[in-house]
A and B are shown apart, each in its own frame.
Chain A
Amino acid sequence: MPSTPAADDQSLVERAQAGDEEAYAILVRRYSPAMMRLARMYVPTAALAEDVVQETWVAVLRGIERFEGRSSFKTWLFRILVNRAKTRGVREHRSIPFASLGSGGEAGEDGDDGPTVDPERFGRDGGWTSAPRNWEDDPEQALNSKEARRIVLEAIDTLPERQKVVITMRDLDGLSSEEVRNALDLSETNQRVLLHRARAKVRTALEDWIDA
């Protein structure tokens, strides 16, 4: 996804708010695919995700929540989107109403605060007994494949919601740690723990696939 300077986005927003449809269309085309993907994690259907995305754009146009350029445009936009998607998700009984994505215990809340690698792969001394293979040798080809991306998406889809949202924003949409923390009201530690668990599970899924 193209990442443009916030100033550029900001001027587009201002032009759109002043009635410039072309500016609005550029913003919509630039960000809506990622917004749809993110919204879909909170609501059960694509139609509801579309509603959420549309509500978000209308909120942007109305300038209900001011973009002050303190964070990136994308952070601000995703923050509005996530808040709306959460509200809608709760209404549709899909989403657990975690008061905010940030608060609450960071371990255990997602029901999996154990080790991220199967403990049976380590011996008593803590060394590997079932060592990770060197992926550099052969599967480079495999990892570039459509199938690898499918495996990853499938793994992400099975993650608990908070992990799913964090890895999507960080690693798929390319937001920084600070941007994600701001968009989701997460502490630094909490964001990192969620990301760690999510990434570890995706790695395991790829490993299982490659070793199969």
Chain B
Amino acid sequence: MVELVTEYLEGALAPADRVRFETHIAACAHCSAYLEQMRMTLSVVGHIEPDELDPKVERDLLDAFEDWKAGGA
């Protein structure tokens, strides 16, 4: 079960396998807990924003526009 969890969450299991997976989950508290842990893990991961742009980096990136324009590309 644990090795199929991503395929399941991705909707990549064949219909028959999906039914078997869900039947097992419904009957097995441990696998059900595992699946739930995975879902909660993804929720944590999904709430991690990238660091804000360093103001200097932002300025450099914006300056690149002027250089590009000046270069007449």
| Chain A residues at the B interface, C-beta cutoff of 8 Å | 1, 16, 19, 21, 24-25, 28-29, 32-34, 36-37, 50, 53-54, 57-58, 61-62, 115-117, 127-128, 131-136, 143, 148-149, 152-153, 167, 171-172, 174, 177, 188, 192, 195-196, 199-200, 202-203, 206-207
Given contacts A21-B65, A37-B50, A199-B38, contact A152 B30 (CB under 8 A): no
> B7 and A192: CB pair below 8 A?
yes
Contact of A199 among B6, B36, B65 (CB under 8 A): B6
Overall SS of chain A's interface: helix
Given contacts A32-B53, A132-B30, A143-B43, contact A24 B65 (CB under 8 A): yes
A133 to B3, CA, bound (A): 18
Q: Identify the B interface with A (CB < 8 A).
A: 2-3, 5-7, 10, 12, 29-31, 33-34, 36-38, 40-53, 57-58, 60-62, 64-66, 68-69, 73
Question: A59: shortest Cβ distance to chain B, in Å?
Answer: 10
B37 close to A207 (CB less than 8 A): yes
B33 to chain A, nearest CB (A): 5
Closest to B35 in A: A132
Q: Are A131 and B30 in contact (CB under 8 A)?
A: yes
Complex Cα–Cα for A117 and B4 (A):
12
CA distance A192 to B44 in the complex (A): 20
Residues of B within 8 A of A203 (CB): 37-38, 41
Contacts of B7 in A (CB 8 A): 192, 196
Find chain A residues with CB under 8 A from B12 CB. 188, 192
Residues of chain A lying within 8 A (CB to CB) of residue B33: 131-135
